[in-house]
Structure 1
């Protein structure tokens, strides 16, 4: 069986969804090409090549024939991957962390944000036949596309100025020259697109109309048409650059150099992307953290707002995780690198935003299908306007051809095609700047339509850092004995309750006993063999199902749960060893975040595996409904029931909520840059704030309102100019202005989203 090879190029010159469609159709026609993915924001083309079919050079030539520049990326691009977390759940919303590794790598040729411009994350934006690769580093006004606008503007302006002093026969050639100058690159591109399977391109419409106008003696208007078209393309170029600025800003969060500590304690300067897992780096006050890592020495306050959007500096000390791009406020830190540059938090965020902008929302897919029929339909209407009125309405042929050509220009679907992706890209970028990561337009569109938001409890509505509050051993047992057995069973687990048990044992100087054969009963308990006896740490429900009588501990269990505490029952064989009570405080902003959802008309509900008394106590304090004592399969059934009333957003900590996150209309993970939080769900709230969920809903609704406005502008302007053209009120240049003007308006309207801020 022959296996395909994944190949990738950086493609310079794409500035709208139409460009993406052109490149996709062109390369899909080549033999042996499959799985074509074109990413506008990353300026990247990736596809699979079958052995013995088209060569990478043939693909590059096909792309460059359309007027773009294709540069092969250094490494093959693996197919998209997604990691899932399937950690066992053992009672009280227990979630042991057995998360799968992060998704298989995505091509970041230069190792993420530390890479050079032009590698990995594409930050430049050169364009069309008139540009060269050097344009990627130039301001918009110095690019090849801008030079074409200046040349055309000079020719048209000179001809217009001379027309006041010279006869028409002398100025007409200047207008004609301006038309031909523009039609050379545009016409060449139209021919290449027709050969590549896109005969009804925007370039074809414009060239046909401009040539027709020149033929019937309207060279002045033909020149103005091509000039306005070139201006429109330049504005799209500028808009695409602005939309990519968010990704560029993220990449610039990474310091270029880091201070790596040598074994003798001295430091050496190295490029940040050259840091390896296990290296020790020195982070001085005022420095940006150059890596994801763990603090080995030092205390400081870290400003994580550039990455998570959280404006309040966070105190960090030995053992705490830090994320690349954070700003060290005051203390000196020694940080052990935990992730390579290509896989640190900023690199993954950049990758996620790029991939999100390549994902099309349902509304965008509909507009693209509609525009595919729109253009040939418009050409037929234009032909009918030329052929029928001379016979039916008595128009002369010049008037009929002139108005038919104007209809052709009005039909350019540029504004309509760009109306949705421009808004989506701006919305996704605005969210990323505030720690709200959304994996694509489809998820962004669905979030705002949610009728219900379902929250996990531990680590989502609560801090996820429970502490042991009570140790109640059974008669004849001691607190230290109870704790040593429980710590033996929980050893090696990353679950918050397990960590709390181990922390309590360490604080009391209790040494965990040796355990073997650890296992979990999802949603109920974790078990191990200590000595020759089977020990379990689980929920009261697990103890009841095992037929264990708690005796005098039953009353204490009810009291502790009534206080809103989570209680674990420790069993030795089939006898109670004692109770361990935990308290996990709600997040500081949880009540305000729940209230904000209510103001948006969204119903919040809590789904937890914890006991009913504890769940209801937390829910009442936060002001939402609760469903408690849910096993993982129960959560799935509850999500399905809620979806009957409308779209459901599920919010979890990304550790053991993968099934529920996948079952919901949109899954949202809360977590400060963890692998699972970034890779598992449809969206992630990096600030670790419940209020971030209402901000996601608000951003989605603002984006969809922007989309509707853009579509109305694009279609409304065309409708107005279509009527005025057929009535003879407006001519050729207002017709192209209808499209160029609409493109400018929808682009500017979409860019407003970059300044979006959550409602106070």
Structure 2
């Protein structure tokens, strides 16, 4: 499939079949996914329908395909995947065969030979020249006419093939057989150029998959063996030598080295890794030999998921693309009516020459083809998504990519987003006589045991480092945004904010309140430990801002985007962190409060929410676009509309920049598609240009907008 009109053609044809509940056509992956209701059209019939349109459909059996799933009505539905490509193209065409060896190139050669032979014979037999060109035109029209009929039967009567065939046959009728033959040849050349351009766009996505090596050195009973990466299974042990690409997602069991993760995450500085550290597929081992345990199968590693995400995102339609597609449905039949009026009105009402105005009306048919306009948006979106993925910026579809660039405000979570997410205990303050720091820390650790919250991990780490006794806890529960409570040795223990302690009726002494204020003014987060409702101690922690946080916020400001921090932390700590980074702050927010803040911000324009993808799911969902600072974790890739593989605050500004570059590219493409046709429309009606320049107005515009979209692949970021 070469352009978005191919996508619409296939989708319309399959949606008409009985028992088909959902159809998704992916241009970049050349994949058709069909959801069938029980008793609906058989898979073989769907393949025949697609083949009738001029494509060859091959059923896919992959680990991605789910044999069954529940549809929205509650009934079982079947999901099938087909791979579609031109019927006269061979399988190797999809694997990088040079364009001059493809089926479309062979068709151009045959048609070119026919036109050239007709030209030579017309000089040898000048009296029969018109008949020779007529024969060449009819022979050239055969494959396109057959496709036009198939498309009309499948519900697409106003296809480019229909317009071109009507114009060529009309030219033959009025005696312009020579131009008709050239029009058909130029149309075939245009399709070939579209095929080349689409191939380049797909190559941009396939290059992501090339980050994986073809083979891996797997440990076996007899020693190391060279095996295909696809054969690796979870639990296998592989050896990664210096200079090798890591073949899998896994965990280092032996060895230390610096890993260059830039091909996957965009992180330019090599990262030191050792035993127990995770590694991601596609990164490059710089110096030491590593022994790695495979943690994900080849079809589910980071690179495979990125490729799959980009392909799926390319298939989703952005709002501007939906508008263009709706517009094109009316454009083509409207253009045919306009062509008919051009043919009839001047001769009937103004005494115009029938031959002249019929010729101009036929040329208008060719100008009216919407191919360039329809491809202008998805080509730019696909290139933008691919460019972002190469730099660790993953966006789930054109709608999100468009919305990011329109954002007026970016709201950041604090812990794990603007900060490193690894707070450390800095101060322990006992509030009762006879209570030491280790006892305070031990009680707090017993309540926080098993929690994944960064502050809980800081307390548990400090307790382990100081060998604090941690008694067992029971009946643990969380008061969202406020505290964690449990029963320890029959006594009620709670760890929460000073605000929670006051609301729970615990009286904090003036000295304790003064100490809390001093700690919070230093940018530290303070929690109180309550034992049977009475204060036992204070624990202060600090999480340092990310190294690039201030620069990332400044980059957003330069782009004209406001930044605000939403945090559940206290006002003093929030202001201390926000002051360093130069952004506004809304502090002491419960999860419900964050939702209200986002709703208030959205009243002034689109809002992007940036969180760690774990604790911020409601806020990420409520924002216009949610961005997860995730480093490739499952939660980061699955929760939000976009994810930053490289954990940099500056990545948010990069996403805004990429979105705006994509939107600018879309505007340029639409201007070229519409502008070029407008120019040729005027020149055609004025009699300056004829049929073959008219077909160039379509194919030329299509190629130009595709090549312009491919420029986005060179986007470098801020």
TM bucket by the smaller chain?
Answer: over 0.9
How far, CA to CA, are the matches of 2:413 and 2:225 in structure 1?
45
After superposition, residues 329-728 of structure 1 pair within 5 angstroms as 329-475=286-432, 476-551=434-509, 552-728=511-687
State the Cα distance separating 1:395 from its structure 2 match. Answer: 2.1
1:293 to 250, 255, 267: 250
Q: SS of 2:226's equivalent? A: strand
State the Cα distance separating 1:40 from its structure 2 match. Answer: 1.2
Maintained 8 Å contact 2:179/2:692: yes
State the Cα distance separating 1:554 from its structure 2 match. Answer: 2.3
How far, CA to CA, are the matches of 1:108 and 1:130 in structure 2?
23
Q: SS of 1:443's equivalent? A: helix
CA deviations 1:430-467 (Å, max 9, x no partner) are 11111111111111111111110100011111111111
CA distance change for structure 1 residues 508 and 78 in 2, over 3 Å: closer, same or farther? farther
Q: SS of 2:86's equivalent? A: coil
Maintained 8 Å contact 2:34/2:80: no
After superposition, residues 205-244 of structure 1 pair within 5 angstroms as 205-244=163-202
After superposition, residues 28-427 of structure 1 pair within 5 angstroms as 28-74=15-61, 76-77=65-66, 127-137=85-95, 138-160=97-119, 166=124, 168-169=126-127, 171-262=129-220, 266-427=223-384
How far, CA to CA, are the matches of 2:419 and 2:188 in structure 1?
55
CA deviations 1:51-98 (Å, max 9, x no partner) are 3331100000000000111111115436899xxxxxxxxxxxxxxxxx
State the Cα distance separating 1:162 from its structure 2 match. Answer: 6.5
How far, CA to CA, are the matches of 1:700 and 1:174 in structure 2?
53
How far, CA to CA, are the matches of 1:175 and 1:510 in structure 2?
95
State the Cα distance separating 1:520 from its structure 2 match. Answer: 1.0
1:7 equivalent in structure 2:
none
RMSD: 2.1
| TM-score, structure 1 normalization | 0.89
Note if 1:756 corresponds to 2:715: yes
Maintained 8 Å contact 1:457/1:608: yes
2:8 equivalent in structure 1:
21
How far, CA to CA, are the matches of 2:92 and 2:396 in structure 1?
32
CA deviations 1:410-449 (Å, max 9, x no partner) are 1011111111111111111111111111111111111111
2:75 equivalent in structure 1:
none
How far, CA to CA, are the matches of 2:527 and 2:241 in structure 1?
43
CA deviations 1:512-555 (Å, max 9, x no partner) are 32222222111111222222122222222211211212323322
How far, CA to CA, are the matches of 2:412 and 2:67 in structure 1?
34
Matched residue count: 706
Maintained 8 Å contact 1:548/1:575: yes
State the Cα distance separating 1:294 from its structure 2 match. Answer: 2.4
Q: SS of 1:527's equivalent? A: strand
How far, CA to CA, are the matches of 2:61 and 2:85 in structure 1?
22
Maintained 8 Å contact 1:186/1:207: yes
Q: Which moved more, 1:437-446 or 1:152-161?
A: 152-161
Gaps of 5+ in 2: 71-77
Between 1 and 2, higher relative CO (CA 8 Å, sep ≥ 6) is seen in 1
CA distance change for structure 1 residues 482 and 295 in 2, over 3 Å: closer, same or farther? farther
Gaps of 5+ in 1: 1-13, 82-105, 110-119
Note if 1:737 corresponds to 2:696: yes
Maintained 8 Å contact 1:127/1:144: no
How far, CA to CA, are the matches of 2:339 and 2:87 in structure 1?
29
State the Cα distance separating 1:407 from its structure 2 match. Answer: 0.8
| TM-score, structure 2 normalization | 0.95
CA distance change for structure 1 residues 415 and 640 in 2, over 3 Å: closer, same or farther? same
Q: Which moved more, 1:15-24 or 1:526-535?
A: 526-535
How far, CA to CA, are the matches of 1:30 and 1:433 in structure 2?
39
How far, CA to CA, are the matches of 2:99 and 2:475 in structure 1?
64
How far, CA to CA, are the matches of 2:325 and 2:169 in structure 1?
27
How far, CA to CA, are the matches of 2:527 and 2:176 in structure 1?
86
CA distance change for structure 1 residues 127 and 207 in 2, over 3 Å: closer, same or farther? farther
State the Cα distance separating 1:37 from its structure 2 match. Answer: 1.1
How far, CA to CA, are the matches of 1:548 and 1:207 in structure 2?
85
